[in-house]
Structure 1
Amino acid sequence: MDVGTKLFTWMNGKLVGEDAYGNKYYVHRRGVLRDGHEMRWCMYKGLAEASKVPPEWHHWLHHGTDMVPDGTELRQFAWQKEHQPNLTGTPYAYRPPGHVLEGGKRDKATGDYEPWTPA
């Protein structure tokens, strides 16, 4: 987040809520419309990582609802997992067996593999 975004938020933003991760959500103080919708945005806590926005706030940010999430309507299912950040491009990213950074040696082909060769 840069100084311009902080300044814009300070001058024009009206805080409407905060999520469990500490991200803060704003609307334009004067009700300015963009594409027929009020301006809504998020100020991330820490690194700006879009995957840190919970589903109910994502729904609100993208004008799926006008009701500001308060956490009471959120239904949790047994199969849902806790949020994990997107680790792509970090040392903790998933690398399958055979990946160059995992030694570069993959299992032998099972016999049904035929490499393509140009004709």
Structure 2
Amino acid sequence: MTLGTRIFTWICGRYVGSDGFGNRYYQSRRMRRYGREKRWVLFKGTPEASKIPPEWHAWLHHMTEKPLTEQASRAPAWQRPHLPNLSGTPLAYLPSGHDLKRGQRARATGDYEPWTPD
């Protein structure tokens, strides 16, 4: 977050709420753009769009008037919590046999025949 963004938020922004990742969400106090207020997020840590949970994404993009945090808190037990994109991080998913996991791929079954050029 730059100094300019902080000053703009301090002067023109109205705090709306925050999510479980520590991101803070704001909307403009008076300025109307195309008949609606401007909405933005101040990320905690590295700015990464996939860190925005679905309930706040809907609010940011003017799909809902209020954030859907109440509905998200009543999510079914089988629903997993939101995770940002972990590609390129040490927590990224690596299947068994991946070179970075230092594993061996399972041997192919008998129905596999490698192609060899004539």
Task: Report the TM-score, using the length of structure 2 for normalisation.
Answer: 0.74
Could you tell me which amino acid in structure 2 is paired with residue 10 of structure 1?
W
Task: Please give the alpha-carbon distance, in whole angstroms, between the structure 1 residues aligned to 2:18 and 2:71.
Answer: 15
RMSD of Structure 2 on Structure 1 (CA): 2.8
Paired position in structure 2 for 1:29: 29
- CA shift digits 1:53-108 (9 cap, x unpaired): 23221111111111245x43442202112333432111221111222212263122
Paired position in structure 1 for 2:87: 88
Residue 117 of structure 1 deviates from its aligned partner by 6.8
Paired position in structure 1 for 2:56: 57
Task: Please give the alpha-carbon distance, in whole angstroms, between the structure 2 residues aligned to 1:11 and 1:103.
Answer: 53
Percent of pairs identical after alignment? 56
Residue 23 of structure 1 deviates from its aligned partner by 1.7
Moved more, 87-96 or 71-80: 71-80
Residue 115 of structure 1 deviates from its aligned partner by 4.9
Q: Does 1:4 align with 2:20?
A: no
Residue 41 of structure 1 deviates from its aligned partner by 0.8
Compared CA separation, residues 104 and 115, structure 1 to 2 (3 A): farther
Contact map agreement 2:50 2:84 (CA 8 A) in 1: yes
Paired position in structure 2 for 1:47: 46
Unaligned ranges ≥5, structure 2:
none
Q: Does 1:105 align with 2:104?
A: yes
Could you tell me which amino acid in structure 1 is paired with residue 85 of structure 2?
N
Greater percentage in helix:
2
Contact map agreement 2:13 2:27 (CA 8 A) in 1: yes
Task: Report the TM-score, using the length of structure 1 for normalisation.
Answer: 0.73
Unaligned ranges ≥5, structure 1:
none
Residue 21 of structure 1 deviates from its aligned partner by 3.2
Task: Please give the alpha-carbon distance, in whole angstroms, between the structure 2 residues aligned to 1:48 and 1:111.
Answer: 49
Paired position in structure 1 for 2:78: 79
